[in-house]
Amino acid sequence: MFNPNSLPIKLFADGANITEMFEMNDKSFIKGLTTNPTLMRKSGVDNYENFAKEVLATVTTKPVSFEVFSDDFDEMIKQGKKIASWGENVYVKIPITNTSGAFSKNVIRELQLSGIKINVTAIMTSAQVDALCEILDGEIPSYISIFAGRIADTGKDPEQIIKKALQASKNLKYAELIWASPRELLNIFQAAKIGCHVITATQDILRKLELVDYPLEKYSLDTVKMFANDAKASGFEINT
C-alpha cells in the first residue's frame, strides 16, 4: 500500500476550512499548511487575526503561511511584522508584486532583515524568480512559491520554469521551492521527479492519495458501475 511519507517532496495542505486544517495537521505526511485571503473568504472567515490565532493554537510545530493583504508596501511591512509575531512557525506570505505590478523587493528585504521567515507567492515567470533570488537572504528560511497550476492553465509547461528556479536558487541555503496550485494528483509526482522541495495541495487532491497504485482495470470497472448506477437512479429511458 502506498505510503505518502515515502514521497521525496514535502506535502503542504492548502485551505482555510479550520476543521480540515486541523485534520491535515494530524497527518504525519502533511509537513506544513498554507492559506490565502481568497480561500479564507470562500470559507467565510470574517476576522483574519482571530482565525490565524485559532489555527496557531493547534498547529504549533508545522510551518503555516499567512498572507499580507495591503497593497501599500509600507503597510505590507507592518502587517508582515504583526503576522510573524503570532507564532514561531509562521511564514509571512508576500505577493511578488503589488496590484500595480511593482516588485515587492523592499518588503521582502525589510522583513528578512528583521529575521522574519517569508513565503513569496504568485510567482509565474523565470524573470520574477531571478529578481527574487538576487535579493533573498540565503540564511533566513523562505519559500519561493511558483503557481505551476496557473502557468499550466495558459498552456505553458511549468516544469521548465521550476527547473530554472531550482538552478537559480541553489545557493540560497534555506530557500525552498514550492509547486503551488496543482491541478491533479499527478502533479505531486511531477514535482517530486524534478526535485522540487514542496508542493501545496487542497483537500480535493489530497483525498486522491488513496488511489495511488489502484489497479486500472478495477478503476475502469468502478467507473462503468458508477455510470450504470447513476443512469438507473436518474430514471433514464430510451425507447427502442
Q: Which of 27, 81, 93, 218 is catalytic?
A: 93
pLDDT at 1: 82
On the 0-12 / 13-18 / 19+ scale of CB atoms within 10 A, 208 is: middle
Residue 230 is assigned to a structural domain of this protein: no
Between CA 225 and CA 219 the distance in angstroms is 10
Between CA 51 and CA 206 the distance in angstroms is 23
Q: Do the beta carbons of residue 128 and residue 136 sit within 8 Å? A: no
DSSP character string of 172-186: -TTEEEEE-S--STH
Between CA 83 and CA 86 the distance in angstroms is 6
Question: Strands 30-34 and 64-67, how do they pair?
Answer: parallel
Q: Which amino acid is at 102?
A: A
Residue 74 is assigned to a structural domain of this protein: yes
Residue 240 is assigned to a structural domain of this protein: no
Rounded average pLDDT over 158-180:
97
- Residue carrying the nine cell digits 505577493: 95
> What φ, ψ does residue 46 adopt, rounded to 5°?
-115, -5
For the record, the C-alpha cell of 194 comes out as: 524534478
- 59-100 pLDDT, tens per residue? 999 999 999 999 999 999 999 999 999 999 999 999 999 999
Using CA atoms, how far residue 82 sits from 56, 79, 105, in Å, is: 14, 5, 19
H or E segment and range at residue 144: strand 142-146
Residue 226 is assigned to a structural domain of this protein: no
pTM of the predicted model, to two decimals? 0.95
For the record, the C-alpha cell of 33 comes out as: 499548511
pLDDT at 153: 97
Between CA 65 and CA 90 the distance in angstroms is 6
Residue 120 is assigned to a structural domain of this protein: yes
Residue 219 is assigned to a structural domain of this protein: no
Residue 96 is assigned to a structural domain of this protein: yes
For the record, the C-alpha cell of 26 comes out as: 494530524
CATH number at residue 54: 3.20.20.70
Assess whether pLDDT exceeds 90 at residue 131: yes
For the record, the C-alpha cell of 105 comes out as: 523587493
Q: How confident is the model at residue 186 (pLDDT cuts 50, 70, 90)?
A: very high
Residue 236 is assigned to a structural domain of this protein: no
| Number of structural domains in the chain | 1
Q: Is 170 a catalytic residue?
A: no
Q: Is 7 helix (H, G, I), strand (E, B) or coil?
A: coil
- Can you give the residue range of the structural domain that contains 20? 7-212
